[in-house]
Amino acid sequence: SAVISQKPSRDICQRGTSLTIQCQVDSQVTMMFWYRQQPGQSLTLIATANQGSEATYESGFVIDKFPISRPNLTFSTLTVSNMSPEDSSIYLCSARVGTGEETQYFGPGTRLLVL
Amino acid sequence: KQEVTQIPAALSVPEGENLVLNCSFTDSAIYNLQWFRQDPGKGLTSLLLIQSSQREQTSGRLNASLDKSSGRSTLYIAASQPGDSATYLCAVRRTSGTYKYIFGTGTRLKVLA
């Protein structure tokens, strides 16, 4: 199993600024994921972050807008750049533990409001 | 393109009632399906995972079934309790080569004491 924490838990930001969200896992994990949950919507995968390589982005998401770092096997960051009100969402970090583990573990989420 | 739908969107039941949450998906070529519970400020917790070759999984008062050919899964909650109040999400993983899950929009459950 894995316990995932995120910082900050919530924030209110001004349009045009950037916010970096941190994700910490209490054990080494093979794969980490970043999801977005817009108000009233389902979770949408932004990108997969693998240690030692560039993140893989899903259709509709680009590195300039959502740069991701994965410096080691327990930590990742997601930056939401040049924010607009449409970026107001909950951002969730997720991790897959081991190669045989199918269950995905999720952090508590970061609730972002952009004014 | 895989789409996942959950019905109903919201449900309110008295304590002790047995209930069924529904999940349907458009592409039956799935690797597995997971049911999650989402509590405000606490992220998602995996409840049950069903592999494509399985028909059902059980954990305590929860039972999830999978009918891949018809693109449906149900989550059965027996003897519901106020602590079961949460949003329930189902998610499907397409193939063994990707770890991407497609999520439904969820069913918001409220169990009244």
A39-77: per-residue pLDDT in tens?
A: 888 899 999 998 878 899 999 999 999 999 999 999 999
Query: Residue B68: which pLDDT band, with cuts at 50, 70 and 90?
Result: very high
Q: Tell me which chain A residues have a C-beta less than 8 angstroms from the C-beta of B43.
A: 4, 92, 106-109
For residue B101, what are the contacts with CB-CB under 8 A and spacing of at least 6?
A43, A45, A104, B34, B91, B92, B93
User: In the prediction, which pLDDT does A41 show?
Assistant: 87
B60 touching chain A per CB within 8 A = no
Q: Dihedral of CA A53/A59/A64/A65: which sign?
A: negative
Q: What is the pLDDT of residue B42?
A: 79
pLDDT tens digits, one per residue of A92-113:
999 987 666 567 889 999 999 9
- What's the mean pLDDT in B93-99? 77
d(CA A19, CA A2): 25
Structure token pair of residue A27: 């054990």
Look up residue B51 and give its amino acid: Q
Those residues with Cβ within 8 angstroms of residue A101's Cβ, 6 or more apart along the chain or in another chain = none
Q: Which amino acid appears at position B75 of this protein?
A: L
Closest in B41, B45, B105 to A41, CB measured: B105
Interface of A with B (CB under 8 A): 4, 9, 31, 33, 40-45, 48, 58, 92, 94, 96, 102-109
What pLDDT sits at residue A99?
62
- The partner residue sitting opposite A42, judged by closest CB among B32, B99, B104, is B104
Contact state of A92 with B43 under an 8 Å Cβ cutoff: yes
Does residue B33 carry a pLDDT above 80? yes
List, in order, residues 6 or more apart from A88 with CB less than 8 Å away.
A38, A39, A112, A113, A114
